[in-house]
Structure 1
Protein backbone atom coordinates (compact mmCIF):
# COMPACT_ATOMS: atom_id res chain seq x y z
CA UNK A 1 0.00 0.00 0.00
CA UNK A 2 0.96 3.63 -0.39
CA UNK A 3 -0.68 6.83 0.80
CA UNK A 4 -0.90 9.80 -1.54
CA UNK A 5 -1.01 13.09 0.33
CA UNK A 6 0.65 16.33 1.34
CA UNK A 7 2.77 17.30 4.33
CA UNK A 8 0.42 20.08 5.43
CA UNK A 9 -3.02 18.46 5.06
CA UNK A 10 -4.61 17.78 8.47
CA UNK A 11 -6.62 14.95 6.89
CA UNK A 12 -3.44 13.30 5.66
CA UNK A 13 -1.86 13.84 9.06
CA UNK A 14 -4.78 12.14 10.78
CA UNK A 15 -4.41 9.16 8.47
CA UNK A 16 -0.64 8.91 8.96
CA UNK A 17 -1.04 9.11 12.74
CA UNK A 18 -3.57 6.27 12.71
CA UNK A 19 -1.26 4.05 10.65
CA UNK A 20 1.64 4.88 12.96
CA UNK A 21 -0.38 4.15 16.11
CA UNK A 22 -1.48 0.87 14.53
CA UNK A 23 2.19 0.11 13.78
CA UNK A 24 1.48 -0.29 10.07
CA UNK A 25 4.12 1.07 7.70
CA UNK A 26 2.63 2.89 4.73
CA UNK A 27 4.90 5.09 2.58
CA UNK A 28 3.70 8.62 1.84
CA UNK A 29 3.83 9.80 -1.77
CA UNK A 30 3.74 13.60 -1.67
CA UNK A 31 1.38 15.12 -4.24
CA UNK A 32 0.41 18.73 -4.92
CA UNK A 33 -3.26 18.47 -5.85
CA UNK A 34 -3.31 22.12 -6.96
CA UNK A 35 -0.63 21.58 -9.59
CA UNK A 36 -1.74 21.31 -13.21
CA UNK A 37 0.58 18.32 -13.54
CA UNK A 38 -0.97 16.48 -10.61
CA UNK A 39 -1.99 12.91 -11.37
CA UNK A 40 -4.14 12.46 -8.27
CA UNK A 41 -7.31 12.00 -10.35
CA UNK A 42 -5.90 8.75 -11.72
CA UNK A 43 -6.35 7.35 -8.21
CA UNK A 44 -9.09 9.58 -6.77
CA UNK A 45 -11.53 11.07 -9.31
CA UNK A 46 -12.35 13.81 -6.77
CA UNK A 47 -8.75 15.02 -6.87
CA UNK A 48 -8.37 15.06 -3.09
CA UNK A 49 -5.96 13.66 -0.53
CA UNK A 50 -5.45 11.45 1.32
CA UNK A 51 -5.81 8.57 -1.08
CA UNK A 52 -4.75 5.04 -0.16
CA UNK A 53 -3.60 2.98 -3.12
CA UNK A 54 -3.94 -0.72 -2.42
CA UNK A 55 -1.58 -3.52 -3.40
CA UNK A 56 -4.00 -4.64 -6.11
CA UNK A 57 -4.08 -1.14 -7.62
CA UNK A 58 -7.47 -0.23 -6.19
CA UNK A 59 -7.87 3.03 -4.30
CA UNK A 60 -9.60 4.15 -1.13
CA UNK A 61 -10.20 7.81 -0.38
CA UNK A 62 -11.54 10.16 2.27
CA UNK A 63 -9.66 10.17 5.56
CA UNK A 64 -12.63 8.87 7.52
CA UNK A 65 -12.89 5.82 5.29
CA UNK A 66 -9.14 5.16 5.34
CA UNK A 67 -8.72 5.40 9.13
CA UNK A 68 -11.70 3.12 9.68
CA UNK A 69 -10.13 0.58 7.35
CA UNK A 70 -6.72 0.97 8.99
CA UNK A 71 -8.20 0.19 12.41
CA UNK A 72 -9.32 -3.21 11.12
CA UNK A 73 -5.87 -4.21 9.84
CA UNK A 74 -4.29 -4.85 13.22
CA UNK A 75 -5.52 -5.58 16.76
CA UNK A 76 -2.82 -3.23 18.08
CA UNK A 77 -4.15 -0.01 19.64
CA UNK A 78 -7.81 -0.25 18.68
CA UNK A 79 -8.94 3.31 17.99
CA UNK A 80 -12.63 2.89 17.13
CA UNK A 81 -15.15 0.93 19.23
CA UNK A 82 -16.59 -1.99 17.23
CA UNK A 83 -20.30 -1.24 17.43
CA UNK A 84 -23.13 0.74 18.87
CA UNK A 85 -23.29 4.04 20.71
CA UNK A 86 -19.61 4.04 21.65
CA UNK A 87 -18.58 3.76 18.02
CA UNK A 88 -20.98 6.53 17.03
CA UNK A 89 -19.61 8.75 19.81
CA UNK A 90 -16.02 8.44 18.59
CA UNK A 91 -17.06 9.01 14.98
CA UNK A 92 -19.05 12.07 16.05
CA UNK A 93 -15.92 13.51 17.67
CA UNK A 94 -14.12 12.89 14.38
CA UNK A 95 -16.90 14.61 12.42
CA UNK A 96 -16.73 17.63 14.76
CA UNK A 97 -12.95 17.93 14.44
CA UNK A 98 -13.07 17.47 10.66
CA UNK A 99 -15.84 20.05 10.47
CA UNK A 100 -13.58 22.61 12.13
CA UNK A 101 -10.88 21.81 9.58
CA UNK A 102 -13.40 22.06 6.73
CA UNK A 103 -14.39 25.54 7.87
CA UNK A 104 -10.76 26.61 8.34
CA UNK A 105 -9.89 25.51 4.81
CA UNK A 106 -12.79 27.52 3.42
CA UNK A 107 -11.58 30.61 5.29
CA UNK A 108 -8.09 30.08 3.89
CA UNK A 109 -9.26 29.52 0.31
CA UNK A 110 -11.78 32.38 0.09
CA UNK A 111 -9.22 35.20 -0.37
CA UNK A 112 -7.16 32.92 -2.62
CA UNK A 113 -9.98 32.39 -5.10
CA UNK A 114 -11.53 35.83 -4.59
CA UNK A 115 -8.61 38.24 -4.01
CA UNK A 116 -8.94 41.75 -2.71
CA UNK A 117 -12.43 43.13 -2.19
CA UNK A 118 -13.95 40.16 -4.04
CA UNK A 119 -13.63 37.97 -0.96
CA UNK A 120 -16.90 37.55 0.91
CA UNK A 121 -16.44 38.67 4.50
CA UNK A 122 -19.88 37.33 5.55
CA UNK A 123 -18.84 33.92 4.18
CA UNK A 124 -15.53 34.07 6.07
CA UNK A 125 -17.32 35.16 9.26
CA UNK A 126 -19.75 32.26 8.93
CA UNK A 127 -16.87 29.77 8.73
CA UNK A 128 -15.10 31.40 11.67
CA UNK A 129 -18.30 31.05 13.68
CA UNK A 130 -18.28 27.33 12.90
CA UNK A 131 -14.70 27.09 14.12
CA UNK A 132 -15.48 28.97 17.34
CA UNK A 133 -18.63 26.96 18.04
CA UNK A 134 -16.75 23.76 17.26
CA UNK A 135 -13.92 24.62 19.65
CA UNK A 136 -16.37 25.33 22.45
CA UNK A 137 -18.20 22.06 21.77
CA UNK A 138 -14.93 20.14 21.90
CA UNK A 139 -13.92 21.84 25.14
CA UNK A 140 -17.32 21.19 26.71
CA UNK A 141 -17.23 17.58 25.55
CA UNK A 142 -13.76 16.99 26.90
CA UNK A 143 -14.56 18.79 30.17
CA UNK A 144 -11.97 17.66 32.72
CA UNK A 145 -11.47 14.18 31.27
CA UNK A 146 -8.07 12.88 30.18
CA UNK A 147 -9.34 11.75 26.78
CA UNK A 148 -12.22 12.71 24.51
CA UNK A 149 -13.84 9.30 24.88
CA UNK A 150 -13.19 6.49 27.32
CA UNK A 151 -10.03 5.95 29.35
CA UNK A 152 -7.46 5.79 26.55
CA UNK A 153 -6.57 7.53 23.31
CA UNK A 154 -8.96 6.90 20.44
CA UNK A 155 -9.61 8.23 16.96
CA UNK A 156 -11.54 11.04 18.66
CA UNK A 157 -8.35 12.40 20.23
CA UNK A 158 -6.35 12.00 17.03
CA UNK A 159 -8.93 13.92 15.00
CA UNK A 160 -9.16 16.66 17.63
CA UNK A 161 -5.37 16.91 17.83
CA UNK A 162 -5.06 17.28 14.06
CA UNK A 163 -7.72 20.00 13.98
CA UNK A 164 -6.04 21.93 16.80
CA UNK A 165 -2.65 21.53 15.17
CA UNK A 166 -3.97 22.87 11.88
CA UNK A 167 -5.34 25.96 13.61
CA UNK A 168 -1.96 26.58 15.22
CA UNK A 169 -0.28 26.11 11.84
CA UNK A 170 -2.55 28.25 9.66
CA UNK A 171 -4.54 30.43 12.09
CA UNK A 172 -2.28 31.50 14.97
CA UNK A 173 -4.59 34.49 15.49
CA UNK A 174 -7.28 32.14 16.84
CA UNK A 175 -6.19 31.99 20.47
CA UNK A 176 -7.89 28.72 21.36
CA UNK A 177 -5.13 27.70 23.80
CA UNK A 178 -5.91 30.63 26.08
CA UNK A 179 -9.66 30.22 25.74
CA UNK A 180 -9.75 26.45 26.22
CA UNK A 181 -6.91 25.28 28.49
CA UNK A 182 -8.35 21.76 28.65
CA UNK A 183 -7.95 21.43 24.88
CA UNK A 184 -4.40 22.72 25.15
CA UNK A 185 -3.65 20.17 27.87
CA UNK A 186 -4.86 17.39 25.59
CA UNK A 187 -2.92 18.78 22.64
CA UNK A 188 0.32 19.03 24.60
CA UNK A 189 -0.10 15.44 25.73
CA UNK A 190 -0.69 14.28 22.15
CA UNK A 191 2.35 16.22 20.94
CA UNK A 192 4.58 14.03 23.10
CA UNK A 193 3.65 11.01 21.01
CA UNK A 194 6.02 10.07 18.15
CA UNK A 195 3.07 9.82 15.75
CA UNK A 196 2.23 13.49 16.29
CA UNK A 197 5.84 14.67 16.40
CA UNK A 198 6.72 12.96 13.13
CA UNK A 199 3.70 14.39 11.29
CA UNK A 200 3.90 17.97 12.54
CA UNK A 201 3.60 20.13 9.39
CA UNK A 202 6.80 21.86 8.26
CA UNK A 203 6.99 25.46 9.43
Structure 2
Protein backbone atom coordinates (compact mmCIF):
# COMPACT_ATOMS: atom_id res chain seq x y z
CA UNK A 1 0.00 0.00 0.00
CA UNK A 2 0.99 3.60 -0.62
CA UNK A 3 -0.34 6.56 1.30
CA UNK A 4 -0.27 9.90 -0.48
CA UNK A 5 -0.14 12.59 2.14
CA UNK A 6 1.51 15.63 3.64
CA UNK A 7 3.53 15.70 6.85
CA UNK A 8 1.46 18.67 8.01
CA UNK A 9 -2.02 17.36 7.16
CA UNK A 10 -3.90 16.38 10.34
CA UNK A 11 -6.13 14.04 8.30
CA UNK A 12 -3.08 12.25 6.89
CA UNK A 13 -1.61 12.10 10.37
CA UNK A 14 -4.76 10.42 11.66
CA UNK A 15 -4.33 7.71 9.02
CA UNK A 16 -0.60 7.35 9.71
CA UNK A 17 -1.30 6.86 13.42
CA UNK A 18 -3.85 4.15 12.60
CA UNK A 19 -1.33 2.44 10.31
CA UNK A 20 1.26 2.49 13.11
CA UNK A 21 -1.15 1.20 15.75
CA UNK A 22 -2.32 -1.56 13.40
CA UNK A 23 1.32 -2.41 12.55
CA UNK A 24 0.60 -2.27 8.80
CA UNK A 25 3.38 -1.80 6.26
CA UNK A 26 3.02 1.00 3.73
CA UNK A 27 4.97 3.53 1.70
CA UNK A 28 4.44 7.21 2.45
CA UNK A 29 4.36 9.32 -0.71
CA UNK A 30 4.71 13.01 0.13
CA UNK A 31 2.66 15.40 -1.95
CA UNK A 32 1.54 19.02 -1.83
CA UNK A 33 -2.16 19.18 -2.76
CA UNK A 34 -1.75 22.92 -3.37
CA UNK A 35 0.95 22.46 -6.01
CA UNK A 36 0.19 23.17 -9.67
CA UNK A 37 0.06 19.45 -10.52
CA UNK A 38 -0.27 17.39 -7.32
CA UNK A 39 0.19 13.62 -7.56
CA UNK A 40 -2.96 13.00 -5.57
CA UNK A 41 -5.14 14.50 -8.32
CA UNK A 42 -4.33 11.44 -10.44
CA UNK A 43 -6.06 9.21 -7.89
CA UNK A 44 -8.55 11.41 -6.04
CA UNK A 45 -10.76 13.66 -8.21
CA UNK A 46 -11.06 16.05 -5.26
CA UNK A 47 -7.29 16.48 -5.20
CA UNK A 48 -7.15 16.04 -1.41
CA UNK A 49 -4.84 14.10 0.90
CA UNK A 50 -4.74 11.55 2.34
CA UNK A 51 -5.33 9.01 -0.39
CA UNK A 52 -4.55 5.30 0.04
CA UNK A 53 -3.37 3.44 -3.07
CA UNK A 54 -3.85 -0.31 -2.87
CA UNK A 55 -1.57 -2.84 -4.51
CA UNK A 56 -4.04 -3.25 -7.38
CA UNK A 57 -3.84 0.57 -7.84
CA UNK A 58 -7.33 1.22 -6.54
CA UNK A 59 -7.62 4.43 -4.51
CA UNK A 60 -9.43 4.99 -1.22
CA UNK A 61 -10.24 8.43 0.20
CA UNK A 62 -10.95 10.39 2.50
CA UNK A 63 -9.46 9.80 5.96
CA UNK A 64 -12.67 8.42 7.52
CA UNK A 65 -13.07 5.87 4.73
CA UNK A 66 -9.38 4.94 4.84
CA UNK A 67 -9.34 4.23 8.58
CA UNK A 68 -12.46 2.07 8.26
CA UNK A 69 -10.69 0.02 5.60
CA UNK A 70 -7.45 -0.26 7.58
CA UNK A 71 -9.16 -1.35 10.78
CA UNK A 72 -10.95 -4.16 8.94
CA UNK A 73 -7.72 -5.19 7.22
CA UNK A 74 -6.12 -6.61 10.35
CA UNK A 75 -7.52 -8.00 13.60
CA UNK A 76 -4.55 -6.51 15.47
CA UNK A 77 -5.57 -3.72 17.82
CA UNK A 78 -9.14 -3.17 16.67
CA UNK A 79 -9.90 0.56 16.80
CA UNK A 80 -13.54 0.67 15.67
CA UNK A 81 -16.25 -1.32 17.48
CA UNK A 82 -18.71 -3.54 15.58
CA UNK A 83 -21.97 -1.99 14.38
CA UNK A 84 -24.06 -0.70 17.26
CA UNK A 85 -24.28 2.14 19.76
CA UNK A 86 -20.61 1.99 20.79
CA UNK A 87 -19.51 2.30 17.16
CA UNK A 88 -21.78 5.31 16.68
CA UNK A 89 -20.24 6.95 19.74
CA UNK A 90 -16.70 6.41 18.43
CA UNK A 91 -17.67 7.81 15.03
CA UNK A 92 -19.24 10.82 16.74
CA UNK A 93 -15.94 11.53 18.47
CA UNK A 94 -14.20 11.26 15.11
CA UNK A 95 -16.72 13.54 13.38
CA UNK A 96 -16.29 16.20 16.06
CA UNK A 97 -12.50 15.95 15.90
CA UNK A 98 -12.59 16.20 12.11
CA UNK A 99 -14.83 19.26 12.48
CA UNK A 100 -12.16 20.89 14.65
CA UNK A 101 -9.58 20.17 11.97
CA UNK A 102 -11.89 21.56 9.28
CA UNK A 103 -12.37 24.80 11.21
CA UNK A 104 -8.67 25.10 12.06
CA UNK A 105 -7.58 24.61 8.45
CA UNK A 106 -10.16 27.17 7.32
CA UNK A 107 -8.63 29.65 9.77
CA UNK A 108 -5.18 28.95 8.34
CA UNK A 109 -6.31 29.40 4.75
CA UNK A 110 -8.12 32.64 5.60
CA UNK A 111 -5.06 34.02 7.37
CA UNK A 112 -2.92 33.34 4.29
CA UNK A 113 -5.08 35.51 2.05
CA UNK A 114 -3.94 39.10 1.42
CA UNK A 115 -4.77 41.19 4.47
CA UNK A 116 -7.33 43.28 2.62
CA UNK A 117 -9.18 40.14 1.51
CA UNK A 118 -9.31 38.38 4.87
CA UNK A 119 -12.64 38.02 6.64
CA UNK A 120 -12.39 38.61 10.37
CA UNK A 121 -15.96 37.35 10.67
CA UNK A 122 -15.13 34.02 9.04
CA UNK A 123 -12.06 33.56 11.24
CA UNK A 124 -14.17 34.21 14.34
CA UNK A 125 -16.85 31.76 13.19
CA UNK A 126 -14.26 29.02 12.80
CA UNK A 127 -12.75 29.87 16.18
CA UNK A 128 -16.19 29.69 17.81
CA UNK A 129 -16.73 26.23 16.30
CA UNK A 130 -13.43 25.03 17.72
CA UNK A 131 -14.13 26.43 21.18
CA UNK A 132 -17.60 24.85 21.28
CA UNK A 133 -16.28 21.48 20.07
CA UNK A 134 -13.44 21.48 22.61
CA UNK A 135 -15.88 22.21 25.43
CA UNK A 136 -18.15 19.41 24.25
CA UNK A 137 -15.32 16.87 24.01
CA UNK A 138 -13.76 17.87 27.33
CA UNK A 139 -17.09 17.37 29.10
CA UNK A 140 -17.71 14.10 27.26
CA UNK A 141 -14.28 12.74 28.20
CA UNK A 142 -14.64 13.56 31.88
CA UNK A 143 -12.30 11.44 33.99
CA UNK A 144 -12.25 8.48 31.60
CA UNK A 145 -8.76 7.23 30.69
CA UNK A 146 -9.69 7.21 26.99
CA UNK A 147 -12.49 8.64 24.89
CA UNK A 148 -14.47 5.40 24.78
CA UNK A 149 -13.59 3.63 28.00
CA UNK A 150 -10.34 2.00 29.05
CA UNK A 151 -8.69 1.23 25.71
CA UNK A 152 -7.32 3.32 22.86
CA UNK A 153 -9.63 3.51 19.85
CA UNK A 154 -10.19 5.62 16.74
CA UNK A 155 -11.85 8.32 18.84
CA UNK A 156 -8.60 8.97 20.71
CA UNK A 157 -6.58 8.99 17.50
CA UNK A 158 -8.91 11.48 15.81
CA UNK A 159 -9.02 13.76 18.85
CA UNK A 160 -5.25 13.53 19.29
CA UNK A 161 -4.68 14.49 15.66
CA UNK A 162 -7.04 17.45 16.01
CA UNK A 163 -5.45 18.73 19.21
CA UNK A 164 -1.99 18.28 17.73
CA UNK A 165 -3.02 20.37 14.74
CA UNK A 166 -4.25 23.16 17.00
CA UNK A 167 -0.85 23.18 18.72
CA UNK A 168 0.86 23.19 15.33
CA UNK A 169 -1.12 25.79 13.38
CA UNK A 170 -3.24 27.64 15.97
CA UNK A 171 -1.11 27.95 19.12
CA UNK A 172 -2.69 31.33 19.88
CA UNK A 173 -5.90 29.51 20.82
CA UNK A 174 -4.10 28.25 23.96
CA UNK A 175 -6.76 25.57 24.45
CA UNK A 176 -5.17 23.66 27.35
CA UNK A 177 -6.03 25.82 30.42
CA UNK A 178 -9.78 25.54 29.86
CA UNK A 179 -9.80 21.86 28.91
CA UNK A 180 -8.01 19.80 31.58
CA UNK A 181 -9.48 16.47 30.51
CA UNK A 182 -8.32 16.85 26.90
CA UNK A 183 -4.94 18.08 28.15
CA UNK A 184 -4.54 14.90 30.19
CA UNK A 185 -5.49 12.82 27.16
CA UNK A 186 -3.10 14.49 24.71
CA UNK A 187 -0.22 14.19 27.19
CA UNK A 188 -0.89 10.46 27.47
CA UNK A 189 -1.17 10.02 23.70
CA UNK A 190 2.01 12.01 23.03
CA UNK A 191 4.09 9.27 24.65
CA UNK A 192 2.90 6.63 22.19
CA UNK A 193 5.33 5.92 19.31
CA UNK A 194 2.50 6.27 16.78
CA UNK A 195 1.98 9.87 17.87
CA UNK A 196 5.58 10.89 18.51
CA UNK A 197 6.75 9.56 15.12
CA UNK A 198 4.07 11.44 13.17
CA UNK A 199 4.49 14.93 14.62
CA UNK A 200 4.63 17.59 11.87
CA UNK A 201 8.16 18.84 11.14
CA UNK A 202 7.83 22.56 11.88
CA UNK A 203 5.20 25.30 11.96
CA UNK A 204 6.80 26.88 8.88
CA UNK A 205 6.17 23.84 6.67
CA UNK A 206 3.20 23.73 4.27
Question: Could you state the TM-score of these two structures normalised by the residue count of structure 1?
Answer: 0.97
Q: Which runs of 5+ in 2 are unaligned?
A: none
Q: How does 1:1-203 map to 2 (within 5 A)?
A: 1-112=1-112, 114-203=113-202
Residue 111 (structure 1) shift: 2.9
| CA–CA distance in structure 1, aligned partners of residues 9 and 70 of structure 2 | 18
> Alignment RMSD, CA only?
0.8
Residue 173 (structure 1) shift: 0.8
Moved more, 32-41 or 102-111: 32-41
| CA–CA distance in structure 2, aligned partners of residues 145 and 56 of structure 1 | 42
SS in 1 for 2:82: coil
| CA–CA distance in structure 1, aligned partners of residues 20 and 38 of structure 2 | 26
Question: Could you state the TM-score of these two structures normalised by the residue count of structure 2?
Answer: 0.96
State the aligned residue count: 202
* 1:4-35 superposed Cα distances (whole Å, 9 cap, x missing partner): 00000000000000011001011110001111
Q: Which runs of 5+ in 1 are unaligned?
A: none
